[in-house]
Structure 1
Amino acid sequence: MIIKKLLLSCLLFVITMGAVQAQSGASSLDPYANETVAERDARMEWFRVARFGMFIHWGVYAVPAGTHKGKKIDGIGEWIMSKGEIPMAEYQKYAKEFNPIKYDPEAWVKLAKEAGMKYIVITSKHHDGFALFDSKVSKWDVMDASPYGKDLIAPLAEACKKNGIKLGLYYSQAQDWNQGGSARGNEYKGKWDPAQEHDMDDYIKTIAVPQVKEILTQYKPAILWWDTPRGMNDERAEQFLPLLKLAPGIIHNNRLGGKYKGDISTPEQHIPGTGLPGDWESCMTMNKTWGYKSYDNKWKSTETLVQNLVDIASKGGNYLLNVGPTAEGLIPEPSIERLKNIGAWMDKNSESIYSTSASPCRTPAWGRITTLTKGKNTTLYLNVFDWPENGTIFLPITNKVMSCNLLVDKSQKYKTKTDEQGTTISLVGKAPDAISSVVVLKLSGKPVVSDADKIKQNKDGTVLLPAQKSIINNVIGSHVTYNKVNDCIDQWSNKKATVDWDFTVDKVGTYTISMHIASEEESAIELIIAGQTIQTKLPATGGFKSYKTVNVGEVVIDKAGDHSIHLKPTRDNWKPVNLQSVKLSLNSKK
């Protein structure tokens, strides 16, 4: 079951990842393939403590900044060469305008530190192949192709070391649109310039492997952030693995390719509904683009960014938040403003983020929970996003409460009441923080979770699955959310996003499944439950405020106990839907 997986992720954090690596058939070429659990714990410790880092996408693409020959090019800024199908000779001219004379690596690092970030990952070379360091195997780098003529990575590495920030380096090993590589373009359909026709194996051997050797030797990064695995078979990937020895203790991600899973999973532009097994990191943008794009002003609010950080930490992951500097070397002002605002929140509440692990129970409607275990006792940090009007919040934890107080003011104590169902906390006054108020709940022992928050079968045989208790699984580019005002999964428009519920039944038999929906157009969906698949159409209801209950089919549940239901859009026929609930009604007992 989904919630059980979350709990397993919390309790067997390291063992799970070790099993994943073992199952992947990791080769002895990976210097960490056969490390012990204790060795892995030691290597990953700083990453698990950090929880928050800065991603920097910077390169020649900051010069056109989303516009080529007077035309705005669709897509993310760093992909302009591909999306605009710009020939190599034309694109390379932009390097002559890449002159970041306002670059101040010390200021960048101090900004990250002020925001509460513990590490930085910068694009040493992105898909356009332009290296921000002095490469001896290519002249397509900042030293030889730009008027700036100085290494951009070295001073950043020095500033990171000076300020106690870990340095990570992103490297595009499989795509290089100016030096061969896989040179895959618009949605990976292929090359767009005959000059790109080169042998990928030759590129791996003569450019990619030597450049990775250069950056590992020169900068000794704490993280090597591969991107992307396309075209990377085992043989190609294995050429890079021995190089990891050049930076002892290095962490690398799951995007190298072949059968190699690396140390961390990297969901992009979304937060997994229940987190992921092992160590993981959600990388996300502040607006819509990674690389600088002058006209992308769709900035996320500070509230969203802080709550993303808390949400990710509550699921056991790290948050890698991106900035895209200009060609002059300036981080855009909206990014600076938001990072400073995040820092103001972190100054008061970072204790609820650093060193914490995932919540022991289901995500509550009022906010998120992070966990800190020391010795025999546990501290739960209750990040309250929605301060309750009735003054109480509940969590299904039955341990003896040792203390309960506001993080920013320990003198502000709260009354608690615990029974076999869980703990109710009586809060007072208005929300201390407009974004997230942190209540510290100290427990005796390790968390004991009751089944109070489980969705159980009613006496009449029905099972009601409300939107509020759904688990929404977003993917890259998907931002499907629960809308508490409208009490629904609001305009579920992305056909790749899926929704799950866990529930318990004590009666077996045939169940009719219905959905309470509102939509403007006819749609189609697939439901998977008890090993059975139902495919059905969903009618138009007259608009997003006009709800109707639609029967979608029947399913036989022949075993009492825990079950889950998975809702998956039928991609070719999916149109936006508002979903308030799913209901299972018992027709007949077996």
Structure 2
Amino acid sequence: MSAAESFPRRHFLAGAAAAGALSALPAGVLASSAEAAATTTTTTAATGVPLPPLRVPQIDKGLPQQPDAKVGWLQDAKIGMFIHWGVYAGPAQGEWYMRQAQVKPSAYRHFLTDATQQQFTADQFDPTSWTGLAKDMGAKYVVLTTRHHEGFGLYPNAHPNAWTSAQSPLNRDFVASYVSAVRAAGLKVGLYYSPINWRYPGYYNVSGAPLTNPPWNLEGADPATFDYVANARMMKEEVYQAVKQLVTDYGPIDDLWWDGGWLAESGSDADGAFFWEPGQYRDQGNRWPVGGYGETESTSGRPLGLMGMVRAHQPDIVVTPRAGWLGDYQVEEGGSVPTGPVRAGAVEKAFTIRGAWGYQAGASVMSYDDILAVVVNSVVRNMTTLINVGPDRHGLVPQDSADVLRRVGAFLSDVGESIYGTRGGPWQPVDGRVGYTYRDATCYVHLLAGQPAGAFTTPAIGDARVQRVYDVHSKQDLNHTTNSDATVTITGIDRSAHPQDTVLALVLDRPVVATDVARRKLTTSDSEESSHGNLAGQATDGDTATRWCAADGNTGHWLRVDLGGPTALTGIRIAWEFPNRTYRYRVDGSVDGGAWSTLVDRVNNTDTSQVHTLPCTGVARYLRVTVTGLDAGCWASIRSCEAFDRPFR
């Protein structure tokens, strides 16, 4: 793990751009319907529930992010266990000890080979005890450091310069045993891998530029004549061989936790992409080729980059962004308590609970209250939490770490319905006081330590009606009153069982957030790019990784959705193919498919957001989106076309 960093999160804009109401209703719409639509408009502005933002997969270096269907398990899991374990557990001063103490690679090997009190022996390695702790703490997936920056792999690597546990004196494949144990426990399998390798001086000077001072890890060579470029190339070869074996030797892997695409400990992970080539393909003219240690694509014969190789063998895997490719989910690192808004997209909060990430002798463990504060403040912000432990040189997790995590697990078991399989929101949390999660027709109020005692009033729940309110811990019903502004006041709350997070459940008579009434409805268009499978129905299939596209780049193309019957609409949301482009368009509605009236007029649009959220009123059975203007290089192409018949904001 690198020094604590916070990685930027991509927020897909879903701003509620103003759209005019119908000036004239289509023929056949009754006056009562028009009155209902007008009432809906008022409710939407005053009491509507926020829509969850869309996650739209982006393409980076030739490879698209995984769709929601493949990332959803991570968002549902909510809790994972991270395990940092390697030779650094021997000196017991954290995973960065080699670098911080500037221990030469040859000297560092003695922590593996020499029988001292600092030898990494792994003599009590038992992955079933790790998975037992993971289940006790409420984790649904586990991630193991298969190789950290020290360059020692916990599994075989056929590269001739690799340093691994498969060699003497251990002669073991720890990853194989770990993967088997995790699968047997019914947990998702995660593997951490760092391309950084402190055994190679070339890491600090991949281009071979003249250096005033040689790198700290150079030994046994003349700094003036040392071939840094060749050394860096060997390091890259080892990485490609290591990753190839990770994704081919252990069956299906759910999560690959990249860490460390940056070069010479400077810049960003993306800055090092020219060297590592983390995307779909490698450049055959790259200065640092990997030869037979890489792979080529069977269909095209093109050399695969790191992620191209990973996806070729693990098509369902999700990965972090920390090797120079965009990643399928984002990471916030460190033990600070999350603040601010609900996060957009898939985000993981990773933190360690006992000093460094790797085993650190004498370190203090985080308190139960502090751990819980990170966990619950992550969950209400729609983040999964990955909680790290560092086993010692024998393979044992410190007892104080295990004890506090089992206590966290007891809490999670008690209130699990408000954690697992939920999403953060839909309302924004108030730092230190309250946050929310929801699933289907139930929303959960998390009263945190800073929330004053007494009654609590929720945000407005829109057009829903409350069927039941209860304490999630005791399952006892609670007194409640629905107010004229659609907020709900709850009384008789007992905060004694879990003062760090008292959870209340509100069961409604309909889903907490407005659902898309256009999903999987009959969708047609005047033109389809059928040769690439970009058919009309893919705009309403609920998958933002698919899209409708017209057969050419002309304007005037349209997409039409049959909602199945006249529907009093409150708004539409469209996700276009590309971000940072200007799409100009008009949305019309009709009850009979013959007479059309304008719901939304964006023919003069200048908004370059990918997602457009469009409040509008009107009763329509049919919706038609007509593209009237396009930027150069854009075609009429929609990833998602949603329609809503309930208040939202």
TM-score, normalising length: structure 1: 0.65
Give 1:254's match in structure 2, choosing from 315, 318, 321.
321
- Residue 371 of structure 1, CA deviation: 2.8
CA distance in 1, matches of 2:238, 2:452: 61
Q: Does 1:95 align with 2:112?
A: yes
CA distance in 2, matches of 1:343, 1:261: 32
- Residue 141 of structure 1, CA deviation: 0.8
Runs of 5+ unmatched residues, structure 1: 67-76, 450-590
Which residue identity does 2:203 align to in structure 1? S
Quote the residue 2:366 is aligned against.
300
Give 2:237's match in structure 1, choosing from 206, 210, 225.
206
Change (3 A) 1:434 1:277: closer
- Residue 228 of structure 1, CA deviation: 1.1
CA distance in 1, matches of 2:392, 2:109: 17
The 5 Å alignment of 1:408-557 reads 408-420=473-485, 422-447=487-512
Residues 510-536 of structure 1: CA deviation (Å, up to 9, x unaligned): xxxxxxxxxxxxxxxxxxxxxxxxxxx
Change (3 A) 1:180 1:302: same
Higher relative contact order (CA 8 A, sep 6+): 2
Which residue identity does 2:199 align to in structure 1? N
Quote the residue 2:455 is aligned against.
392
- Residue 164 of structure 1, CA deviation: 0.5
Quote the residue 1:141 is aligned against.
164
CA distance in 2, matches of 1:7, 1:421: 24
Which residue identity does 1:373 align to in structure 2? R
Larger deviation: 90-99 or 384-393?
Answer: 384-393
Query: Is the Cα–Cα contact under 8 Å of residues 52 and 119 in structure 1 kept in the other structure?
Result: yes
Give aligned pairs, total: 413
CA distance in 2, matches of 1:349, 1:7: 32
Which residue identity does 1:237 align to in structure 2? P
The root-mean-square deviation of aligned C-alpha atoms, in Å, is 2.9
CA distance in 2, matches of 1:132, 1:434: 42
Which residue identity does 1:230 align to in structure 2? W
- Residue 159 of structure 1, CA deviation: 0.7
CA distance in 1, matches of 2:154, 2:204: 19
Quote the residue 1:311 is aligned against.
377
Quote the residue 1:382 is aligned against.
445
Quote the residue 1:164 is aligned against.
186
Which residue identity does 2:175 align to in structure 1? I
Quote the residue 2:129 is aligned against.
107
Report % sequence identity: 27
Residues 371-405 of structure 1: CA deviation (Å, up to 9, x unaligned): 3332xxx3111122238665211222244322100
Larger-gyration structure (1/2):
2
Quote the residue 1:224 is aligned against.
256
Query: Is the Cα–Cα contact under 8 Å of residues 147 and 194 in structure 2 kept in the other structure?
Result: yes
The 5 Å alignment of 1:226-245 reads 226-231=258-263, 232-234=272-274, 236-238=277-279, 239-244=305-310, 245=312
Residues 8-53 of structure 1: CA deviation (Å, up to 9, x unaligned): 798454x4342xx24xx440xx3xx176xxxx12211211210110
Runs of 5+ unmatched residues, structure 2: 1-8, 17-49, 114-118, 206-212, 264-271, 280-304, 515-649
CA distance in 2, matches of 1:303, 1:194: 45
Q: Does 1:43 align with 2:70?
A: yes
Larger proportion of strand: 1
CA distance in 1, matches of 2:214, 2:474: 58
- Residue 180 of structure 1, CA deviation: 5.0
CA distance in 2, matches of 1:170, 1:283: 13
SS in 2 for 1:47: helix
Larger deviation: 108-117 or 381-390?
Answer: 381-390
Query: Is the Cα–Cα contact under 8 Å of residues 188 and 254 in structure 2 kept in the other structure?
Result: yes
Q: Does 1:350 align with 2:416?
A: yes
- Residue 415 of structure 1, CA deviation: 2.2
Residues 400-436 of structure 1: CA deviation (Å, up to 9, x unaligned): 3221001133233232332317222113445232432
Which residue identity does 1:233 align to in structure 2? A
Change (3 A) 1:178 1:11: farther
Query: Is the Cα–Cα contact under 8 Å of residues 401 and 443 in structure 1 kept in the other structure?
Result: yes
Quote the residue 1:574 is aligned against.
none
- Residue 82 of structure 1, CA deviation: 0.7
Change (3 A) 1:430 1:290: closer
TM-score, normalising length: structure 2: 0.59
- Residue 218 of structure 1, CA deviation: 1.3
CA distance in 2, matches of 1:250, 1:342: 28
The 5 Å alignment of 1:326-365 reads 326-364=392-430
Change (3 A) 1:294 1:387: closer
- Residue 296 of structure 1, CA deviation: 1.6
Which residue identity does 1:95 align to in structure 2? L
CA distance in 2, matches of 1:319, 1:372: 17
CA distance in 1, matches of 2:352, 2:446: 23
Give 1:178's match in structure 2, choosing from 180, 185, 199.
199
CA distance in 2, matches of 1:301, 1:215: 35
Change (3 A) 1:430 1:230: closer
Larger proportion of helix: 1
Residues 227-284 of structure 1: CA deviation (Å, up to 9, x unaligned): 1120322462232022112123011111121xx2110111110435324321110110
Quote the residue 1:57 is aligned against.
84
CA distance in 1, matches of 2:308, 2:361: 40
SS in 2 for 1:143: coil
Which residue identity does 1:222 align to in structure 2? D
